[in-house]
Amino acid sequence: MISRVTNSALMRTAQRNLQANLSNMAKLQDQATSQKLISKPSDDPTGTTTAMAVRGEQRATSQYTRNAANGNNWLTTIDASLASVTTIMNRVRDLTVQGANDGSMSPTAKEAIAVELEGLRSDLLKEANSEYLGRSVYAGNSDAGAAFVDVAGVLTYTGTGSAVERRVAGNSTVRVDSDGAAVFGTGATSIFSLVDNIVGDLRAGVNVGSRLTEIDSRMKTVTNQQADVGARQTQILKAQETLVSSATTLENQRSSIEDVDLGKVILELKQAQVNYQASLQVTAGVLQPTLMDFLN
């Protein structure tokens, strides 16, 4: 049996085709305006899922980047502090060598050295209480406000022994503080007590030459701590390089899923507009109204 194609059927088919063309043109217009391939999840469910996963990784990478920057600033503060401590201790050693020369040093000259050493001790205490963003870099997670505090005339270390760490990757953390007890010592074996003992010996007329070994030992400790800080800072810097590379890769992945090629979309939009206009003209020419259309 041969089916008869009526003008109404042709009209409905033409209308569907025109609506499809119009819908495609509207989609391309939205993409050109927003410059996004996906405006809602239903546009591309698989792409939406992938994009969400990539964005999650981007957020994690951004947090790791902030952690690494913060950790690098901590370590930079400690490195500068330890460099100052080394400079101060070199001066302490020079003064101790001078003070050990009993033959040419008068009591007045030794007193002048003792006074300068007291000033250097104050400088050492200032470095020992170095801070970054209001937190001591030598006291771990202590909330005491300072690594070394004066308690009844005795300097007491307030550190908790709990290290401050920053996570710079999913499975990697870096310690960003330094153990003040290891750097400066505590109690009678601290760097402060050493300077106090040298000052006391000078004023008591005791030769301070024997203190040079203690000074060298303490300076070696500071140097070792500075080397350790340098190694951890290198780890941080490498992590930052990796994070920059990861951020670029992830952004490229996200862009390939979500963003449009604007030139391509504009070209497709122009083509869709031409096709739509041509469809209108062809449909208008083919589906001419007849007397039967009015009678129906």
C-alpha dist (Å) from residue 127 to 81, 150, 173, 210: 6, 15, 26, 26
Is 179 a member of any domain?
A: yes
Q: What domain range is 183 assigned to?
A: 76-232
Q: Can you tell me the distance from the alpha carbon of 67 to that of 236, in angstroms, rounded to the nearest whole number?
A: 10
Whether 109 is in a domain gets the answer: yes
Query: How many CB atoms lie under 10 A from the CB of residue 248?
Result: 10
CATH of residue 143's domain is 1.20.1330.10
Q: Would residue 187 count as lying in a domain?
A: yes
How many helices and strands (H and E) does the chain possess?
8, 6
Cβ neighbors of 251 (< 8 A, separation 6 or more) are 58
Integer Cα distance of 44 and 22 in angstroms: 20
How many residues are there in the chain?
A: 296
Whether 161 is covered by a domain: the verdict is yes
HSE-CB for 45 with a 13 A CA cutoff: 1
For residue 150, list its beta bridge partners: 155
Domain count, the chain: 1
Is residue 110 a part of any domain in this protein? Answer: yes
Q: Which amino acid is at 60?
A: A
Residue 176 falls inside a structural domain: yes
Instruction: Match 């007291």 to its residue by tokens.
Output: 118
Q: Domain for residue 46, yes or no?
A: no
Assess if residue 180 is contained within a domain.
yes
H/E stretch holding 264: helix 262-286
Q: What is the pLDDT along the chain (296 residues), one digit of tens a residue?
A: 455 555 566 566 666 665 666 666 666 566 666 666 666 777 678 888 888 899 899 999 999 999 999 999 999 999 999 999 999 999 999 999 999 988 788 999 999 999 999 999 999 999 999 999 999 999 999 988 899 998 877 889 999 878 999 999 999 999 999 999 999 999 899 999 999 999 999 999 999 999 999 999 999 999 999 999 999 999 999 999 999 999 999 988 887 777 665 566 566 666 766 666 666 666 666 555 554 454 55
